[in-house]
Amino acid sequence: MAYDTKVDLDTLGLFLHEGIASSEHANPRESLGCREDADDAEIARRLFQIIASSDLARIGTESIHPEAARHPSVRPPTEVAADPSFLGRLSTSGSSELTVERIDDLPTILAVLRAGSRRQRRAALGRLAQRLRDRRLLHTDAVRKAIQTINELRDVELGHELALVRAELPGASGRKARQEHDEWKRLAQSVEDLIRVFWDGQSSVEPIHLMPGDQRALLLMHIPELPDLAVQHINAIIEGNDGGAPLESRVGLLSSLRFATDIRLVPALISVIESERGALVASASRVLGGIDDARVHPALAERFERSFVTEERIALAGALGMHGDCRGLAEVRSCLEEGQPQTLLQALEAMESLGSSENTDLVTPFIDHADVSIAIQAVRTAARIGDGRALDVLTEKYNTSSVPAMRAAIEDALSAITARMELRGEEAVTIDWSEVGQKPAPRRGSRDSLPAVVLGWRDYFMGRVWLLFGRMTWAIVRFESAAARRHDWAAPLIGIGMTFARGEQYALALPAFRRAIELDRTQIERNPILVRAMAKSFLRRAEQVEREGRDDVARGLVGEVLTLDLRRAPGTVRFELRRKHDVLRREGTDDVHSAA
Amino acid sequence: MSTPLRDAAVRRLRTLGKHTGEGAIRRLTMDVEVDGRVEMVTLSMRDDRLQCVSSDAQNDGPHVLAALEFIAGIELREDSAPPGAVDSAGGLSGEADAWGELAEALEDLVTAVARVGVAKAQYAPSVDAALERVIAVAPRPTPAGLGRFIGRLQRDIRLGEARRAARMLEGASQLVETLRASTPTSDSQQRLSAWLGARAASISSAQLLYDRTMIEVGREWMTGTERASVERRYIVDIESGHIYREDRPRQALASLGPCPRQLQVGLAEVETGASPARIRILQYEVQPEVPTENWKRLHEVASRSFAEVSDGYRRSVDAHPSLSEPFALIAPYRIERNGVFKAFDADGHQLVLNRSERRGAVLAFYDLLAQGAEPSWLAGRLTDQGTTLCLTPFALGTRDGTYMRL
């Protein structure tokens, strides 16, 4: 492309900008050296040719253009500016005066751990771990309390960080955490080997998709420790470049990554929100909301501005809220005001990161919602907003609700709200749990005769003995016999449930667990081993029936177990149950194929 | 011709005793032996045309003929007549009309923008109508090159990038001329192929590559007639340092694997045309883990002279003003990081980052620098801002052999 250097480029620039038709001061034909009778097509051609040539010839001939040499731009605020309180201004990193890293006072760190945003809680946990490394403080009361808090914490959102901190603790809990981590390492190694086989072309079976839900949740909980190969494989599935993953397994994997913080996932997740639609974008944006990386906010904001699908917009608004950008608040508010059943759960979830005390009145009515999932989510949202005005509503609900999961969520919420009030310097409210809620119903006195009790114990004992010898069938016969002799005794039923669960006969374990729950729910809920086996049985059975295409039955099973107080079940099982419940629920409302 | 494979297949089918009416064969790769020499032949349908590729580079050689006869089943049917020449006169005449119509639509678009000016083009009904007409008269589905031109033009108009829009329209004018030309030249055929696909060109300009090791260093979704209509992967041949692009249209297949990845390419086809050259990877093995020595190799083949990068950019944009989107792999001699990142080569020429595109990636790059990362090489798409050549970052490698995708 050559051009006549005598041509006045400024005039041509004006033609280019304003158009040749509206030119009043110069004649484009003359300026471009065209004939007087040249038509517009010829003039256009000449104009673009000259400008393109001159433009190209100038590249690299002058000093750096000031616009090109400017620093990108100031990044968005990372905290919600609307809350001027201590917690509202508490930064998780950086040089700000008020950062979690600078807090030395253990009670304050513990309060942030209960009441803060996900980022603040994560930072508080890190800070707590730092403080616990100081051996001089190990035998103080404050540290003992901190260790107790860490052991009691059942926050699935902080699963990875919690496991790391627990592994550093002294004593039995530390040993248990280290043992669990070793199990994870073995699992990760076997998955890595399978991934290698998959990409070598020796197997067409994608290994992560086929894993049982709780195992997959466990594997992905520690994603920052996974080798690059495994993370790359996950990225390939997320982007749809593994050669076979259907849409539903991509959505399933994304929802399993819900609380992942690994920045190696960011490019693939951004690629999804740039190029996909609907459930994929919503799931990917929920993951991105929790990742601290400079690439995340611009991508979320850009997608939010051009998205018109409500499901996407609410998820994006929530994710932006986690990055301190509240541009989607009005839309989430209007979703709650309209009360559309399809979007209620997502809107309440988004409100966790967007809401402030101004939104308490909007959220609290949903605590009485007929749908338990929505009511529990409203409780969680109220806990994250942390407004003291919600205390009365929550206490009242606690007294009237008979759903164990609801009561457990309210207990956590009350604790979070009081911690937040404490951090705000408000009058600390001490909740007397002996006065709150229904008292446990007094156990009915045994109506069994003495011979029935003795024979029942004999059968139960024999059942345990057979179990020791590995004779499952004989043991179950004995347990059945014990249960038949004493109708209000849960122990033999639990024995049956546990035996079937160990033998992976989940369909047979469920009736036994159900009968045991009917007789003595609290015994199961308060025993970590029992609650783990029971929750896993429900989860695995739900996966089995789902594979058979009976999604409604799977939904029923997951919904049933989620009404129980599962706080003592492993975080990965709770996470997977909630994930599956969300996915099956969406499938039920949107008529999308299973994404679990 | 001996057909033991076909006979064996017939026997296996009889044993299975099953039939299926489903399935469409889109590509076949086979080892064909002629005169004791075995070559790999790939037959595939692309844009409704049969493509024949042989590993001996003789795409109409005896191995390809043998493969075609096998597929056509000619050797089994002694009574069947050999396939005669297809009467394509009608088809050619129809094609010429279609190209004429497309040339006219593109010329109208160029004229419409020139009349109203780039500043007002975004809301001008005449420009909208002209764009719609171009899409309407173009072949279906819209060819990737034409789609990308429309996407880029709309973006430049929307952002008020008048000079870049002028470059797009200059490219469209060149295509108009090519479509109207009576005698094809190699340049015009290359242009047609780049804009409208291999089918539009009467001379195939594809070049074959065998047994190469390549590394994908970046990927992005590109806008065409619709947003995010093509996924573009940037792939570097670690022997020659050549950079290729693999375009995967939405809902279509391309080579599998994450980014980054290493590809052992057995057979690939490269189209000459807009930079980076388009590659179609036909036979490959993928490794999601790139060995450290190959990252080092990438550093060795990276461009060290920014003057050459700049010249290459100018040449490439000059040849294909609308479609060229050069990608570069650079190894800076030194970098400056006081406030603004600048990369320098040994001669003192500098390169800065483009901050108008992929802002998140640029911010993340600055974060990495702040954390003390020492980039030894940088991969990115080249653009120009004002008179300055800029790089939109996609990936960087550090001195300790670490790769980071941005």
- The shortest C-alpha distance from B223 to chain A (Å) reads 10
The pLDDT value recorded for residue B359 is 86
Is it the case that residue B185 has pLDDT exceeding 70?
A: yes
CA torsion A470→A473→A475→A476, rounded to 10°?
140
What's the CA gap between A191 and A197, in Å, rounded? 10
Q: Do the Cβ atoms of B169 and A44 come within 8 Å?
A: yes
Mean pLDDT to the nearest integer, B80-93: 43
Mean pLDDT to the nearest integer, B172-187: 84
Mean pLDDT to the nearest integer, B140-159: 89
B118 vs A contacts (CB less than 8 Å):
16-17
Tell me the angle at which helices A118-132 and A141-152 cross, rounded to the nearest 10 degrees.
130
- The shortest C-alpha distance from A212 to chain B (Å) reads 24
- The shortest C-alpha distance from B384 to chain A (Å) reads 7
A51 vs B contacts (CB less than 8 Å):
163, 166-167, 170
pLDDT higher for B90 or B51?
Answer: B51
Residue A347: pLDDT band (50, 70, 90) is: very high
What count of residues does chain A have? 596
Q: Do the Cβ atoms of A69 and B366 come within 8 Å?
A: no
Mean pLDDT to the nearest integer, A435-463: 69
Task: From residue A570, give the alpha-carbon distance in Å to each of A153, A311, A522, A527.
Answer: 11, 30, 17, 12
Long-range CB contact pairs, A453-462, < 8 A, 24+: A453/A486, A455/A485, A456/A482, A456/A485, A456/A486, A456/A489, A456/A492, A457/A482, A459/A485, A459/A492, A460/A491, A460/A492, A460/A495
A533-547, B19-33, B273-287, B356-370: the lowest-pLDDT one: B19-33
**What three-state secondary structure class fits A582?**
helix
Strands (E), A154-239: none
Torsion sign, CA atoms B14, B17, B19, B25: negative
Tokens representing residue A557 in the block: 């099973």
Q: Residue A244: closest CA among chain B residues belongs to which residue?
A: B256
The pLDDT value recorded for residue A385 is 86
Candidate ranges A143-147, A464-468, B232-236; pick with highest mean pLDDT? B232-236
Percent of chain A with pLDDT over 90: 12
CA torsion B187→B188→B192→B193, rounded to 10°?
-30
Amino acid in position A99: T
The pLDDT value recorded for residue B23 is 67
CA torsion A223→A225→A227→A229, rounded to 10°?
10
Residue A282: pLDDT band (50, 70, 90) is: very high
Is it the case that residue B71 has pLDDT exceeding 80?
A: no
What's the CA gap between B197 and B93, in Å, rounded? 19
- pLDDT digits 0-9 by tens, A494-518: 888 888 888 888 888 888 888 888 8
Mean pLDDT to the nearest integer, A404-411: 85
- The shortest C-alpha distance from A117 to chain B (Å) reads 24
| Owner of token pair 């801002």 | B385
Out of A65, A72, A275, name the one closest to residue B359 (CB). A72
Dihedral class, residue A227 (left if φ above 0, else alpha if ψ from -120 to 50, else beta) = beta
User: How far is C-alpha A441 from the geometric centre of its chain's CA atoms?
Assistant: 35
Mean residue pLDDT of chain A comes to 81
pLDDT higher for A402 or B217?
Answer: B217
A243 vs B contacts (CB less than 8 Å):
256
Question: Is there a contact between A492 and A462 (Cβ–Cβ < 8 Å)?
Answer: no
Chain A contact probe: residue of B122, B170, B362, B368 with most A CBs at under 10 A: B170
- pLDDT digits 0-9 by tens, A89-141: 777 766 566 777 777 777 788 888 888 888 888 888 888 888 777 766 667 77
Residue A26: pLDDT band (50, 70, 90) is: confident
Is it the case that residue B347 has pLDDT exceeding 60?
A: yes
The pLDDT value recorded for residue B74 is 57
The pLDDT value recorded for residue A192 is 92
**What three-state secondary structure class fits B210?**
strand
Amino acid in position A431: I
Question: Is there a contact between A91 and A116 (Cβ–Cβ < 8 Å)?
Answer: no
Residue B149: pLDDT band (50, 70, 90) is: very high
A1 vs B contacts (CB less than 8 Å):
170, 318, 321
The pLDDT value recorded for residue A269 is 95
- pLDDT digits 0-9 by tens, B204-225: 667 888 889 999 999 999 988 8
- The shortest C-alpha distance from A234 to chain B (Å) reads 8
**What three-state secondary structure class fits B283?**
strand
| Owner of token pair 């996932």 | A265
- The shortest C-alpha distance from A257 to chain B (Å) reads 17
- pLDDT digits 0-9 by tens, A222-248: 899 999 999 999 999 998 888 777 788
**What three-state secondary structure class fits B209?**
strand
Q: Do the Cβ atoms of A241 and B169 come within 8 Å?
A: no
Which of these, A214, A208, A211, A215, lies nearest to A232 by C-alpha position? A208
- pLDDT digits 0-9 by tens, B295-340: 889 999 999 988 899 889 988 998 899 999 999 999 998 888 777 7
Is it the case that residue B90 has pLDDT exceeding 50?
A: no
What DSSP line would sit under A357-391, residue for residue?
A: GGGHHHHGGGGG-SSHHHHHHHHHHHHHHT-TTHH
| Cis, peptide link before residue B260, omega less than 30° from 0 | yes
**What is this model's ipTM?**
0.77
Residue B77: pLDDT band (50, 70, 90) is: very low
Q: Do the Cβ atoms of B288 and A267 come within 8 Å?
A: no
Mean pLDDT to the nearest integer, B165-186: 87
Q: Residue B117: closest CA among chain A residues belongs to which residue?
A: A19
Please, which residues 158-197 of chain A have a Cβ atom closer than 8 Å to chain B? 195
Mean pLDDT to the nearest integer, A547-567: 81
- Rg of the Cα atoms in chain A: 30
The pLDDT value recorded for residue A234 is 93
What count of residues does chain B have? 406
What's the CA gap between A558 and A541, in Å, rounded? 9
Look at strands B49-54 and B403-405 and give their pairing. Answer: unpaired
Q: Do the Cβ atoms of B258 and A239 come within 8 Å?
A: yes
The pLDDT value recorded for residue A79 is 44
pLDDT higher for A77 or B289?
Answer: B289
Q: Residue B260: closest CA among chain A residues belongs to which residue?
A: A232
A296 vs B contacts (CB less than 8 Å):
360
Q: What phi and psi values does residue B42 have, to the nearest 5 degrees?
A: -120, 125
> For chain B, what is the largest distance between any 2 Cα atoms, rounded to a whole number of angstroms?
81
Please, which residues 225-244 of chain A have a Cβ atom closer than 8 Å to chain B? 228-229, 232-233, 235-236, 239, 241-243
